[in-house]
Amino acid sequence: MTTTVPAVAGHERGTRAYRRLGAAMWCAGLATFVLVYCVQALLPTLAAEFEVSSSVASLALSATTGTLALAIVPLSAVAESWGRTRVMTAALAASAVLGVLAPLAPTFGALVAVRALQGVTLAALPALAMAHVTREVAPRWLGGAVGLLIAGNTIGGLSGRLVAGAVADVAGWRVALAVIGGLSLLCTVAFRMLLPPALAPAPPRVRLRELGRPLRAQLADPGLRCLFGIAFLLMGAFVTVYNYLGFRLLAPPFGLPAALVGLVFLGYLAGTWASTGAGRLGDRWGRRRVLWAAVLVAVAGAWVTLPDLLATVLAGLLVVTVGFFAAHSVASSWVGRRASVLPAGSPAVASSLYLFAYYLGSSVGGATGGVAYDHGGWPAVVVYVTVLLAGALALSLVLRRVSPPAGTSAQTHFRGTTAAAKQGGGSPGRAQPLSRRERS
């Protein structure tokens, strides 16, 4: 039995508005992640400068992702009714100003406090950006559009780490953070100039006390709960690898100079390719297939990093990066799509819950990974990462048994909308029955 999927207006791929939206979201992702993750390359420097352990130094990152996680659900739900464009611009500008102030912190505690405030100012942005793309892009191109957003996140994370590491090696960590703050200001201006006028109207104004019903609606869905858990576990594993690999490469037997260690973040370029490619593969071949395969790739990459050979460490890092960004791209686009067809579903609330789990995984998982590294070195990190990824793999396999939301066909839910129908040879508005292979 087939189900007709109603047409939803949105920007089509190849149009000028689609390109402007993609470029604006790319700038937003760049500005956000250049600020959030710039300190990751500076963790060994901060540990030496303030005479703290690697796990304590990681608080410079965990403070930002932790407060972001705590504030993201209430702020993004309430802020959407204030106007997505206005709120995203204000969030980027405020966080960039704090980025310029961060180098003035006199103590490590003060730096952590400024970084925590940045997490609050950025909290509304990621979920609103994801919800904005979901509402503004034609559903059949949603996977690729979300992939572009995540690609901007990838380049932002890469740029922040590389620029901060290179500048700190020459002029110190304070100048490095000042440069990052200036770069984020430029990205904010570009974002506002490129973003096309919104097609979808702002939803009705929401009060905090009214969040209970939409939150319960999202959390009651078993598919969304699995996706939220996957976000937490994936990000905890991924941030652990990048947080503490620098400490490993600076120490014997590698003993690499800090300038070269910073170049390991070039591995993020693999994430740019993986995020866009996985989003399109998910639209075409099925999200669940691509998701569990991507998690397996990340597990394999973690074990490749285990030998004390630089070539295998770097190869494994690339494999982990590809697996993580492929899985994240598929899971994040799936959240918005599933929530949009749920009774009382809200893509903005669902996206904010996904990102709550995502950044909580970065904060809690990354800090706990530091304890593993302090006590057992890199082998303990690999075991810890494997446990987290095994949990994500288990949840991705559970998704195979989760029924699509009421009112949608299995093929529409697992493979996409019009693009999937075309792939199956049907009409643009009608989904095709699932084959035996797809049902499995």
The whole-number pLDDT of residue 77 equals: 67
Q: What are 238's strand-pairing partners?
A: none
Residue type at position 431 = A
Report d(CA 97, CA 121) in Å as an integer. 10
pLDDT tens for residues 308-318?
A: 999 999 999 99
State the pLDDT confidence band at 417, using cuts at 50, 70 and 90.
very low
State the pLDDT confidence band at 4, using cuts at 50, 70 and 90.
very low
Q: What are 11's strand-pairing partners?
A: 137
pLDDT tens for residues 247-297?
A: 999 989 999 888 788 888 888 778 767 776 766 666 666 677 888 889 999
pLDDT tens for residues 206-246?
A: 666 666 777 777 888 888 999 999 999 999 999 999 999 99
pLDDT tens for residues 5-53?
A: 344 466 667 678 788 887 888 888 888 888 998 998 899 999 999 998 8
- Which phi-psi region, left, alpha or beta, contains residue 286 (left: φ > 0; alpha: ψ -120 to 50)? left
Q: What angle do CA 236, 240, 243 make, to 5 degrees?
A: 135
State the pLDDT confidence band at 202, using cuts at 50, 70 and 90.
low
Range 157-167 burial, b when 16+ CB lie within 10 A, else e: bbbbbbbbbbb
State the pLDDT confidence band at 107, using cuts at 50, 70 and 90.
very high
The whole-number pLDDT of residue 314 equals: 94
Report d(CA 249, CA 381) in Å as an integer. 14
pLDDT tens for residues 318-374?
A: 999 999 988 988 888 888 778 776 666 667 678 778 889 998 999 999 889 999 998
Structure tokens at 25: 């979201």
| Homologous superfamily of domain range 16-197+211-402 | MFS general substrate transporter like domains (1.20.1250.20)
**Domain ranges in the chain?**
16-197+211-402
pTM: 0.75
